[in-house]
Chains A and B, each alone.
Chain A
Amino acid sequence: MKSLPILEAIFVLCLFGAVAYPLHVLTGSAPAQAEESGVDVPDRALVEGFVTLRFAHPPQSVRLLDNDERVVFEAEITEGETRWDDAVQLVVEKSGASDVRIEAQWDAGFPETAVEVRMEPDGAETFVKTLWATGALDAWLSIPIHE
């Protein structure tokens, strides 16, 4: 290779672009699972799933936490919103269940109200529970995953 004629150099650069662009598209849009979850639980398994929360009255705040106080889900509150659906990752305890704590608050003056929690861990039966609260809710749920 004594010298690079300019036409050949342009040709090689074009082909390099044709190689680099698909590689960027293939690898650039798929963040790693670990990065997304930010969780480090080496001795317990994680299972993906979905949560649906339905409130009879719109809350001021709502979030789900696991045994390690990790936030599993936190709602973005918009006025009047009473339902949230989101993908979540649950920690499966040695018992085969996932323990999740739900915290919610309502404006003062709301009557006793209901919250439906629906969890769909991958491959496991749907878990549905209705909880009742006045003003604030702080309750633990044990969601069976490996029975």
Chain B
Amino acid sequence: MRKLFILVCFLSAALLATPVVNAAGMKVATLHPLLTDLAQRVGGEHVEVVSLLRAGADPHEFDPSPGDLARIRDARLILASGKELETYLPRLKSNLQGGQEIFEVGRNIPSLRIEHGPLYVCCPVHAHGSLDPHWWHSVSNMQRAARLLARELGRIDGANKDAYTAKAQAYSRQLDGLRDWARSELAQVARKDRILVTAHAAFGYFCDEFGFRSAPVQGLNAESNPSPAYLAETIGVIRDNNVKAIFPEQSANPRVLESMVRETGVKTGKPLIADGTGTGSAGTFEGMIRHNVSAIVEALK
């Protein structure tokens, strides 16, 4: 009897430590603030969302601490952006509890590759030729992400599958309106002026969706600062195309852009949110798009 008692106690302890979907909602951890926004919109009252990356932080540099890992120990699902943004994912996977899963939301969204030579970088990991991880700068991509997340949540929590699908559809329709608004606003910028000169290579998906050319000029740290040759090339692009403004970013060092402004005489636009980690009203996906579009139109129209 004693052996049976010990065995049952052991099995019970093991299973009670396994994350489950309970009446209070499935716990979902996110590794990016825009995924927090997405999980809340698609999951609604059926999920409890825990965000590891705070607003304003740099996702290229983030690495979860032991405290972060403890906070997500009972999360059933962990949402990652994917496209090799979270370089720590293999380590995180090795620390998962039984029943926990990581879902890379960006995995099934078509990728752009980082181009334009060795200086077109956002961080040392994402050099020329690698996947551009900033898929969230496209409204269509975020609609697709909502559908993918609804499918994944429904797979795990079948009882609420229809609710997740309905919420993703409602959000997608809301984003149709956002894209229409963005197109209408950006139409104020003359076609010849649709060149986005930014600090780092984060706006490829935005440019692809809204018909802009992208010209990033620096990395995020001293090691990835552009060479004099690339700076000269970018200054040439600015002059040849009569670029009206260049855009700093909230998380990037402004020194290179400042020197470029001095060199070319173009004006500086409002800082753009490149990594989806805006604060306040720009802390959601819709807020980020509205902020960036408004800043671009204000400077380039």
A: which residues have CB within 8 A of B? Answer: 1, 4, 8, 11-12, 15-16, 18-19, 22-23, 25-26, 28-31, 48, 50, 85, 87, 120, 122-126
B155: Cβ under 8 A from any A Cβ: yes
**Contact: B144 with A126, CB < 8 Å?**
yes
Decide if B11 is an interface residue (CB 8 Å cutoff).
Answer: yes
* Cβ contact within 8 Å between B8 and A19: yes
- If A50-B144, A85-B147 touch, does A22 touch B16 (CB 8 Å cutoff)? yes
Q: Chain B 10-49, CB within 8 Å of chain A: the 1/0 string? A: 0110011010111000000000000000000000000000
**Are A22's CB and B151's CB within 8 A?**
no
Q: Which residues of B contact A16 (CB under 8 A)?
A: 8
Say if the beta carbon of B124 comes within 8 Å of chain A: no
For B147, list chain A residues within 8 Å (CB).
50, 85, 87, 120
Closest to B1 in A: A1
Which of B66-74, B156-164, B237-245 lines the interface with chain A?
Answer: B156-164
| A31-B158, A50-B144, A50-B147 given; A19·B1 CB < 8 A | no
Chain A nearest CB, measured from B240 CB (Å)? 32
Which residue from A18, A29, A122, A125 sits with its C-beta under 8 Å from B16?
A: A18
Nearest A-chain residue to B4, judged by Cβ: A12
Number of residues from B at the complex interface, CB < 8 A: 31
CB of B1 within 8 A of CB of A22, answer no
Contact B99 A29 (CB under 8 A): no
9 contacts across the A-B interface (CB closer than 8 A): A15-B8, A18-B12, A19-B15, A22-B15, A29-B157, A85-B147, A85-B172, A120-B144, A122-B108
Q: Distance in Å from the Cβ of B107 to the closest Cβ of chain A?
A: 7
Q: Does B280 contact A (CB under 8 A)?
A: no
Q: In the bound complex, how far is the Cα of B108 from the Cα of A90, in angstroms? A: 15
What's the Cα separation between A28 and B172 when bound, in Å? 29
* Cα distance, A125 to B109, chains bound together (Å): 8
Complex Cα–Cα for A83 and B1 (A): 63
Binding site secondary structure of chain B: helix
The 5 A-B residue pairs whose C-beta atoms are closest, nearest first, are A29-B158, A122-B108, A15-B8, A1-B1, A50-B147
Chain A residues contacting B1 (CB-CB under 8 Å) are 1, 4, 8
Given A22-B20, A87-B151, A126-B144, 9 further pairs, Cβ under 8 A: A15-B12, A22-B18, A23-B15, A26-B20, A29-B159, A30-B158, A120-B144, A122-B108, A123-B109
User: Chain A residues near B4 (CB, 8 Å)?
Assistant: 1, 12
Residue B294 lies at the interface, judged by CB distance under 8 Å to chain A: no
CB contacts (< 8 Å) of B8 on chain A: these are 12, 15-16, 19
Q: Is the CB of B11 within 8 A of A19?
A: yes
B157 proximity list for chain A (CB < 8 A): 29
When C-beta atoms are compared, the residue in chain A nearest to B108 turns out to be: A122
Q: Using Cβ atoms and an 8 Å threshold, which residues of chain B touch A126?
A: 110, 140, 144
A12-B16 contact in complex given A26-B99, A120-B144, A126-B144, C-beta closer than 8 Å: no
Q: How far is the CA of A6 from the CA of B220 in the complex (A)?
A: 68
**From residue A116, how far is it (CB to closest CB) to chain B in Å?**
12
The CA of A123 and the CA of B109, in the complex, are separated in Å by: 5
Closest to A52 in B: B172
CA distance A87 to B9 in the complex (A): 42
Question: Which residues does chain A contribute within 8 Å of B151, judged by CB atoms?
Answer: 48, 87
- Nearest chain A CB to B4 CB, angstrom units: 7
State the Cβ distance, B98 to closest chain A Cβ, in Å.
10
CB-nearest residue of chain B to A23:
B15
Contacts A12-B8, A19-B15, A22-B18 given; indicate if A29 touches B169 (C-beta within 8 A): no
> B143-187 CB contact bits vs A (8 Å, 1 = yes)?
010011001000111110000010001001000000000000000
Which residues from chain A contact B109 at a C-beta distance below 8 Å?
A: 123
Contact across chains for A123 and B108 when beta carbons are under 8 A apart: yes
B214 to chain A, nearest CB (A): 19
Tell me the nearest residue of chain A to B109, going by C-beta.
A123
B76: nearest chain-A partner, CB-CB: A26
State how many angstroms separate the Cβ of B275 from the closest Cβ of chain A. Answer: 23
Minimum Cβ distance to chain A for residue B181 (Å) = 19
A25, B21: Cβ atoms under 8 Å? yes
